Structure 1
Amino acid sequence: MAEQPTKFRLDKWIWQARFVKSRSLAAGLVTGGHVRVNGMRAAKPSHGVQPGDVLTFPQGDRIRVVRILAPAARRGPAAEAQALYEDMSPPEEKTQIPQGARNEGNSRPTKRDRRKLDLYRKGMGDDALE
């Protein structure tokens, strides 16, 4: 008889593959209905998965699609965890932000901005902002 691959817990594998920081976060991801196994929504953290299964779940601001290659024996270093799966996610689009570019409202005012504010506060009104 051919031996069937052993199944293991979904939440534990997601945690051991280092997609989340804790096992309770992995369980919350599954119970929240955010994880799909082979296209079907997994309802319980104890859902059995095996090598060859494809997982789809959100991670940060992107959707991860991974194929399970091996069960995890422990939560080891990142290099060991990356050997557990094949990443099938589309490449992440990176937005090009020029060096030295400043996002409005996202950082401290420049010296020029501070001078304009000081003039405005002293009563120069809107004329100081031009």
Structure 2
Amino acid sequence: MPDPFVLAIGLTVVVRLLAAVFAPHASLSVLLTSCFGGTFNILGFTLQMILILILATGYVIADAPVVQRGLRAMAARVHSPTHAGPLVFPIVAVAAWLTWGLGLVVGPLLSREIARRVKVDFAWLVARSYSA
């Protein structure tokens, strides 16, 4: 199996040759400008796709049975609303330190588990988790 870099170089050469064949009146500078302009125009889309993949990965990790049991065990330790905030903040901070998407998903899941067990303002708890 060839190296991906070799494939990228080969595809670049093929595209350049096709551009020279199908756009014979275009100059080399126009072809190069078009190539590099198109590459950097796609960066916004690329960033959006990366963010989606990070969030999807965070959700998959947070939805794992081991993590769900851990979140339930931590939520079981909360017996009053005053203990909910100090528990949520460091747990979500550590999850966000591991991966940003995991922190974004663990916060609401842990807040939901705590809200099921203790009468607490859910919106306040989620805001506390996102502040981590």
What TM-score comes out, normalization by structure 1 length? 0.22
- Greater RCO structure (CA 8 Å; 6+ sep): 2
User: Which structure has greater helix proportion?
Assistant: 2
